[in-house]
């Protein structure tokens, strides 16, 4: 059981290095883990920064008849303690399959919206060491390259702007419940946590059967080692990208010919997987085995192949990657904060007003015909530059191309800023270094400042 003194020590250990200058959003479902998170966080802020803005947010997924009542119970719990609270409802149709993943996606989106509305850049969730062990076992069952064995990252960047921190990942659920009982605080038991129709409850039951404590300790140790290996491989891949990759024109990446013969083949294959996903606008890294085979072919010389929606060609002047000119988004009116083809963030340029006759604006690929008119560098084969540009987004009105909507929109009312596809939605702290390298390469915005008081200012700050 946690005594009051150890409770204070625990909260200080959990939160001492976090930067709460913009405030904090605490995700609170009413279960034991999130309730303990909220109370420990409130204790810490009361002692160290009483003026900090704290907002508890409960997401009502609308999946159970009692969910609305439970959300109101959390609201009452917060009101009794003077904690600001909001209930957000996941509306719309729910998928027939993949429900847990869809609910998780919706939950983080709603939490990020709540944080943005309050000018808060930090979200805290109550995931525990028990959750981590379950996650690792779930991923182990379907992970073929070992990345997933690192489990949940202690810190994740959402939509390239809001930090999600999981301060309880090193804390067992039993210890948190002991603390709540000591304070005579109850919690809500979600029946879905024992519903074996879903994967996590099945894994939880299996994990706790027999020598559960020993198995959990083994899984967590395996997760820590996998996290170290993932970060190390990402660091080495980032070094290769920094040293051997450049961008001759929008949408086209060139790798030095030495890349295919680099002595650190493991890091080179990892870098290639990330680059293929980034260029192709794919959320998941290219399959490791297929990418390894492609890497071997790169060493043989002349080549033209495709993987992860990316065309890979070997020329005398380097290895070139660009987006395939197929399955591109259909022409559509621009929408603010639209992630186009998972490669470009479409935003409105508030400095520019629409001119007469521009009310029918659409975003569409530049296309082959318009790409032929572009001014191209002589440094790379023009056929490659045109192929890359043809798949990039442009602004059209009445069938007329108004200009390439890349980077700073300039005098155009819409801009299309590069995004780092595999990490645009969720960037785990394990992958900070390769993500930063890709962002620099493609011209994406730099990563926002990390949510910690102390970091090295570079790419190695990510918490273990």
DSSP of 50-70:
TT--EEEEEEE---STTHHHH
The residues near 105 (Cβ < 8 Å, ≥ 6 apart) are none
Closest C-alpha to 83, from 45, 128, 121: 45
Cβ 336 vs Cβ 347: under 8 Å: yes
Side-chain half-sphere CA neighbours of 94 within 13 A:
15
For the domain made up of 4-209, give the CATH fold.
Answer: Rossmann fold (3.40.50)
Q: Give the per-residue pLDDT at 456.
A: 45
| pLDDT greater than 90 at residue 96 | no
Whether the CB-CB separation of 361 and 395 falls below 8 Å is answered with: yes
Percent of the chain past pLDDT 90, that is, above it, reads 66
Asked if 436 contacts 459 with a C-beta cutoff of 8 angstroms, the reply is yes
pLDDT of residue 459: 40
In the prediction, which pLDDT does 8 show?
A: 59
**How far apart, in whole angstroms, are the C-alpha atoms of residue 22 and residue 66?**
33
Coil, strand or helix at 358: coil
pLDDT digits (tens, 9 = 90+) for 357-414: 456 889 999 999 888 887 777 788 889 999 999 999 998 888 888 876 544 445 677 8
pLDDT digits (tens, 9 = 90+) for 211-261: 778 888 999 999 999 999 999 999 999 999 999 999 999 999 999 999 999
Q: What is the DSSP string of 171-215?
A: S-HHHHHHHHHHTT------GGGG-TTSHHHHHHHHHHTTTHHHH
**pLDDT for the residue numbered 80:** 97
Cβ atoms of residues 273 and 288 within 8 Å:
yes
Is residue 95's pLDDT more than 90? no
Burial of residue 415 (number of CB atoms within 10 Å: 0-12, 13-18, 19+): buried
Domain boundaries, the chain: 4-209
Structure confidence at residue 365 (pLDDT): 94
CA atoms 130, 136, 138, 140: torsion sign? negative
Q: How far apart are CA 160 and CA 104, in angstroms?
A: 18
Q: How far apart are CA 207 and CA 213, in angstroms?
A: 9
Report whether 258 contacts 268 (CB < 8 A): no
Partners of 252 in beta bridges: 249, 322
Residue 438 parent element (H or E): helix 432-442
pLDDT of residue 1 exceeding 80, the answer is no
């Amino acid at each position: 059981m946690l005594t009051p003194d150890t409770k204070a020590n625990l909260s200080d250990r959990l939160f001492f290095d976090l930067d709460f200058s913009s405030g904090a959003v605490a995700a609170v479902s009413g279960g034991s883990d999130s309730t303990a998170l909220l109370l420990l966080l409130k204790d810490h802020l009361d002692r160290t920064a009483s003026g900090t803005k704290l907002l508890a947010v409960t997401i009502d997924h609308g999946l159970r008849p009692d969910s609305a009542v439970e959300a109101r119970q959390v609201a009452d719990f917060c009101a009794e303690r003077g904690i600001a609270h909001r209930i957000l409802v996941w509306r719309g149709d729910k998928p027939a399959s993949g429900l847990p993943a869809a609910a998780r996606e919706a939950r983080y989106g709603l939490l990020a919206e709540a944080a943005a509305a309050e000018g808060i850049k930090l979200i805290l969730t109550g995931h525990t060491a028990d959750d981590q062990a379950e996650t690792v076992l779930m991923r182990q069952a379907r992970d073929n390259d070992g990345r997933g064995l690192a489990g949940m990252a202690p810190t994740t960047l959402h939509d390239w702007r809001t930090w999600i921190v999981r301060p309880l990942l090193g804390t067992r659920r039993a210890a948190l419940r002991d603390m709540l009982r000591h304070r005579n605080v109850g919690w809500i038991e979600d029946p879905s946590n024992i519903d074996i129709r879903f994967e996590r409850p099945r894994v939880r039951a299996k994990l706790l059967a027999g020598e559960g404590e020993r198995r959990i300790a083994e899984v967590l140790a395996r997760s820590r080692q996998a996290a170290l290996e993932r970060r190390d491989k990402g660091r080495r891949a980032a070094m290769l990208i920094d040293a051997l990759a450049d961008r001759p024109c929008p949408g086209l990446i060139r790798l030095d010919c030495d890349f295919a013969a680099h002595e650190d083949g493991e890091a080179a294959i990892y870098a290639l997987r990330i680059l293929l996903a980034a260029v192709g606008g794919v959320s998941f890294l290219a399959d490791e085995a297929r990418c390894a085979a492609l890497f071997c072919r790169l060493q043989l010389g002349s080549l033209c192949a495709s993987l992860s929606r990316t065309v890979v060609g070997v020329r005398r002047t380097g290895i070139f990657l660009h987006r395939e000119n197929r399955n591109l988004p259909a022409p559509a009116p621009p929408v603010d904060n639209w992630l186009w083809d998972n490669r470009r963030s479409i935003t409105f340029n508030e400095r520019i007003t629409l001119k007469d006759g521009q009310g029918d604006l659409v975003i569409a690929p530049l296309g082959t015909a318009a790409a032929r008119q572009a001014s191209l560098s002589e440094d790379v084969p023009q056929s490659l530059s045109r192929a890359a540009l043809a798949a990039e987004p442009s602004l059209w009105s009445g069938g007329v191309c108004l200009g390439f909507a890349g980077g700073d929109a300039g005098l155009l009312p819409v801009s299309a800023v590069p995004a780092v596809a595999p990490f645009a939605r969720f960037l785990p702290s394990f992958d900070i270094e390769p993500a930063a390298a890709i962002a620099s390469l493609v011209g994406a915005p730099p990563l926002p400042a990390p949510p910690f008081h102390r970091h090295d200012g570079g790419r190695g700050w990510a918490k273990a």
